Amino acid sequence: MLEVLASNPPGVFHWLVLSSLLFSIGVYGMLSRRNAIGVLMGVELALNSGALNFVLFNRLLAPATVDGEVMSIFIVTVAAAEAVVGMAIFVLLFKQMKTVDMTQASQMRH
Amino acid sequence: MIWSKATGTLLFYLFAVVSVALAIATVSSRRILRAAVYLMGVLAVTAGFYLLLGAPFLAGVQILVYVGGIVVLIVYVVMLTRSSDLAEDKPSAARKSTALLAALASFVLAVTVFKSSESAFRGAGSQAATMLIDDTAMIGRALLDRGPRGYVLPFELVSLLLLAVVIGGITLARKIQVDQSAAPKESSDGGVANA
Amino acid sequence: MVNLQTSWEVRTLSQRASEALAGGQLGLTTGYLFAGLAGLAVFLAAMALVLVYAERKIAAHFQCRLGPMRVGWHGILQSVADSLKLLLKEDIVPTDADRFLHVLAPFMSLLAAILVLVMLPMSPALQVADVNIGVLYVTAVSGLGALGILLGGWSSNNKWSLLGAMRAGAQIISYEVSATLSLLVVVLFSGTLQLSKIVQSQADGWWIWRAPGVGLLAFAIYLIASVAEINRTPFDISEGESELTAGFHTEYSGMRFAFFFLAEFINMFVVSALAATLFLGGWMPFHIGGLATFNAAMDLIPPGAWFAAKSAFLIFVIMWFRWTFPRLRIDQLMRLEWKILLPIGFVNLFLAAMAVLFGFYFFPVQ
C-alpha cells in the first residue's frame, strides 16, 4: 500500500484532469445559475482552475523559474478586481430592480 | 522518504476529491450563502494544491485574496441584496441541461487534447516537481525586473487596473445617492425641491 | 560590533515531527503530533481562563471595585466555574436559522485564532510550526475570523445579529489594511517573512527602536488597527450592548457562544504576541548593541519568560484601552481608518523603504 502510493505520484494527466474538471464545474455554474452572484462564483471557479494550471506547467516545464506563479498572481488580482466591480454592479442592480436575478435584468433601462 | 512521498500522493487525491465535491456543491447548492462557504472551501483546498506544487507564497496569496477578500465580499453582497430570499433560484430543466452539455463538452474537449498531447509532456518529467522552493524572493524579483524576462510592465498595468477598479467601485456606489437626490425632482409635482 | 549570542537554535515541533517521519520513526511522529495537539488544547483552555479572570479583575480595579471574590482565593476559580456553567447550558439554534452555517461559524472564528497561534515563536524551543511565509500566512488566516463572524450573524436570522455582523465585517476588512501595512514595515527592515527569522533579526535591538521613528509609528498603528480588528472596546460597535443587544452572537448560547468568546480572548493574545514578536523582539532578550556585560545579564532570563512578559504587557495595554476610551461611532470609526490611519500608514511604509534603501537604522546588522 505504502509502496504503491509512494511510487505512483500524481502525473501531469491527473493534475490536468483535475483542473479541467474544476473548470467544467465552473462553466456549469456560470450557465445554470440565475442569481448573478452565483454566476460570479462559477467564474471564480473557472479562473481558479486556470491559475492552478499555470502553476502546474511552471513546475513541469521550468521548475527553477516562477513565470507561471507570476501569471497566477495576475489572475488572482484580476479576479479580485472583477469581483469588486461585479459586486458594485449587483448592489446597484438590486437598488434599481429589487432583485439580482439575471433573467429579470434583460433591459438596458428600468 | 517513502513516507513523505506517500503522504504527498495521498494528499493530492484527498484534496482532489474534496475540491471537486465542494465545487459541485458550490454550483448546485440552492442556498447562495452556503454556496459561498463551499466556494471558500474550494479556494482553500486550491491553496493546498499550491503547497503540494511547492509554491508557498502563492498559497498565502490565494488565502489572503480569495478567502479574506473575495469570499468575504461575496458574503457581504449576498447579505446586502437579500439574495437568500431569491428562492426561485431553481434553474429550469432546459437551462440545467444546456449548462450540463456545455460543461461536459468543455471537459471532454480538454481531456481529448491532453490525451493526444500527453507524449509531449513526457520528456519534461512525468510528474510535477514537488520540491519546496523559496518563491517569495523570486516572485518579487520577477515582478520588478525590467529585463526581457521581467514583468514590470504587466505589474504596473495591474496596479493601474486596481486603481481604476477602486475609482469605479466608488463611482458606482455614489451613483445611487445622485439618483436618489435626482428622483424627487423628476417626480415632484408640488415642487418639493429640498436639495 | 560585539558578537552577541546569535546562535539561537530554532527547532519547531513540526520540524521534529517531519524529521521523525523521514527517519521512519512513526511512533515518535505521532507522539510529537499528539504532544502538539494536547499542548495546544491545554494552552487554549488555560489562556482563556487566565485572560477572563485578568480582564474581570483589571476592569474591577480600574473602577475601584474588587471584582470576583467568592470562588476560591480572591475569586481565582471564578472563570473555571463560569466555563463549567457555559458548557452545561442548553445549546439553542433559532427556528428559522440556517443550521449548518450557525454551527459552522463559531468553529471558523476559533480556527482562525488557532491557526495563527501555531505559528507564534514563543521561545527558540517552543514553536509548533514555522513557515517561510509567516507574516503573509498570519494576515491571510485572520480573514477567516471575519468570515466566521459574518456567517454567524447572518445565520442567526436576527436583525441585531445581522447588523452586528455587517458592522464587524466592514470594520475588520478596513482595519486589516492598516495592520498589514504596518507589518510590512518590519518585513522591509528584517528582509524576511519568516517569524522565527524576524525574531532573530532583532538580536541587536528591537525593531520598534532600531527602525528610526517609523518602527514606533508602525507599532502604534498596528496596535490601534489590531484592537479594531479583534472588535475590542473603543471599537466594539459590532457588539455594542446599548444598541445591538450583543451583536453577532446574540443568538448563540452554551458551547458555541463559548467558542466565540474563546476566539475573542485567544485573538487578543494572538494580536499582543504578534506585536511583541514583530516589534518588541519576541523571545529575544533586551539587548543594547555593544554593551556586552549588560547583554549577558539580560541573557540570563530565559527567552520564554521574555516572550510571556512582553505579551502580557500588551494584553494589559489592550485591557487598559477598554476602560479609558469611549466607544466610537461607526462614521468616526471609518474616518479614523480611511482618512487618518491609512494615509499615515502609506507614508510610513514609504519612509521605511527609504530608510532601508539608505541603510539608515540603528545597530546595522553585519
Q: What's the mean pLDDT when you consider all of chain B?
A: 78
Q: B88: which residues sit within 8 A by CB, 6+ positions away?
A: A34, A101
Nearest to A52 among B49, B99, B100 (CB): B49
Nearest to B60 among C104, C137, C155 (CB): C137
Q: Is C139 on the interface with B (CB under 8 A)?
A: yes
Task: Report the alpha-carbon distance of residue C252 to residue C249 in Å, rounded.
Answer: 5
In chain A, what are the domains?
A: 12-97 (1.10.287.3510)
Pull the grid cell for residue B107. 471537459
Distance from CA of B64 to the nearest CA of C (A): 4
Q: What is the pLDDT of residue C8?
A: 54
Q: What is the pLDDT of residue B53?
A: 85
Task: Report the alpha-carbon distance of residue A98 to residue B167 in Å, rounded.
Answer: 25
Q: What is the pLDDT of residue C330?
A: 80
C136 burial type by CB count under 10 A (0-12 exposed, 13-18 middle, 19+ buried): buried
User: What is the value of ipTM here, to two decimals?
Assistant: 0.89
Task: Report the alpha-carbon distance of residue C358 to residue C366 in Å, rounded.
Answer: 15
CA-based torsion, B160, B163, B165, B167: positive or negative: negative
Task: Report the alpha-carbon distance of residue B125 to residue A61 in Å, rounded.
Answer: 8
Contact state of A33 with B91 under an 8 Å Cβ cutoff = yes
Of C262, C231, C259, nearest to C247 by C-alpha is C231
Q: Give residue-wise pLDDT tens across range C61-112.
A: 888 888 787 877 887 888 888 888 877 877 777 777 777 888 888 888 888 8
Task: Report the alpha-carbon distance of residue C16 to residue C67 in Å, rounded.
Answer: 44
- Label residue A108 by pLDDT band (50, 70, 90): low
Chain B / chain C CB contacts < 8 angstroms: 80
Start-to-end Cα distance in chain C: 8
- Tracing cell 522552493 back to the chain, one arrives at B133
**Rounded (10°) angle between helices B2-28 and A36-61:** 160
- Report helix, strand or coil for C204: coil
Q: What is the pLDDT of residue B17?
A: 93
What is the b/e burial string over A33-44, where b = at least 16 CB atoms within 10 angstroms of the residue's CB? bbbbbbbbbbbb
Task: Report the alpha-carbon distance of residue C59 to residue C54 in Å, rounded.
Answer: 8
Pull the grid cell for residue B66. 480569495
Average pLDDT over residues B161-171: 90
Distance from CA of A54 to the nearest CA of B (A): 11
Q: What is the pLDDT of residue C298?
A: 78
Q: Is the pLDDT of residue B85 over 80?
A: no
User: Chains C, A in contact: 3+ Cβ pairs under 8 A?
Assistant: no
Higher pLDDT: C269 or C81? It is: C269
Q: Give residue-wise pLDDT tens across range B108-133.
A: 998 888 888 777 666 555 444 555 56
Of C140, B147, B57, B64, nearest to A68 by C-alpha is B57
- Label residue B159 by pLDDT band (50, 70, 90): very high
Alpha carbons within 13 angstroms on the beta-carbon side of residue C167 total: 27
Q: Give residue-wise pLDDT tens across range C283-294.
A: 888 877 667 787
Q: What is the pLDDT of residue B191?
A: 36
Pull the grid cell for residue B183. 428622483
Average pLDDT over residues C331-359: 89
Average pLDDT over residues C268-275: 90
Q: Is the pLDDT of residue A3 over 60?
A: yes
Which residues on chain B are in Cβ contact (under 8 Å) with A50? none
Q: Give residue-wise pLDDT tens across range B26-80.
A: 888 888 888 888 999 999 999 999 988 888 889 999 998 888 889 988 888 888 8
Rg from Cα positions in chain A: 19
Chain C residue with minimal CA distance to B133?
C132
CA B16 to chain centre: 17
CA angle C151, C141, C245 (to 5 degrees): 35
Pull the grid cell for residue B87. 428562492
Pull the grid cell for residue C205. 535591538
Average pLDDT over residues C323-332: 83
Q: Is the pLDDT of residue C233 over 80?
A: no
Q: Is the pLDDT of residue C55 over 90?
A: no
Of C241, C235, C215, nearest to C361 by C-alpha is C215
Task: Report the alpha-carbon distance of residue C94 to residue C267 in Å, rounded.
Answer: 27
Instruction: Quote the percentage of chain B above a pLDDT of 70.
Output: 76
Of A29-43, B74-88, B159-173, C252-266, the one with minimum mean pLDDT is: B74-88
Nearest to C140 among B37, B68, B134 (CB): B68
Q: Give residue-wise pLDDT tens across range A84-95.
A: 988 888 888 888
**Domain residue spans of chain C:** 89-357
Q: Give residue-wise pLDDT tens across range A27-86.
A: 998 888 888 888 899 999 999 999 999 998 888 887 778 888 899 999 999 999 999 988
Chain B residue with minimal CA distance to A42?
B27
Average pLDDT over residues C213-238: 85
Q: Give residue-wise pLDDT tens across range C166-198.
A: 888 888 888 888 999 999 999 988 888 888 888
Name the DSSP letter for residue B54.
T
- Which CATH fold would you assign to the domain B1-87+123-133? Four Helix Bundle (Hemerythrin (Met), subunit A) (1.20.120)
Q: What is the pLDDT of residue C314?
A: 92
- Report helix, strand or coil for C217: helix
- Label residue B163 by pLDDT band (50, 70, 90): very high
Nearest to C136 among B31, B60, B75 (CB): B60
Q: What is the pLDDT of residue B188?
A: 37
**Domain residue spans of chain B:** 1-87+123-133, 135-195
CA distances from A62 to B12, B115, C7 (A): 21, 22, 36
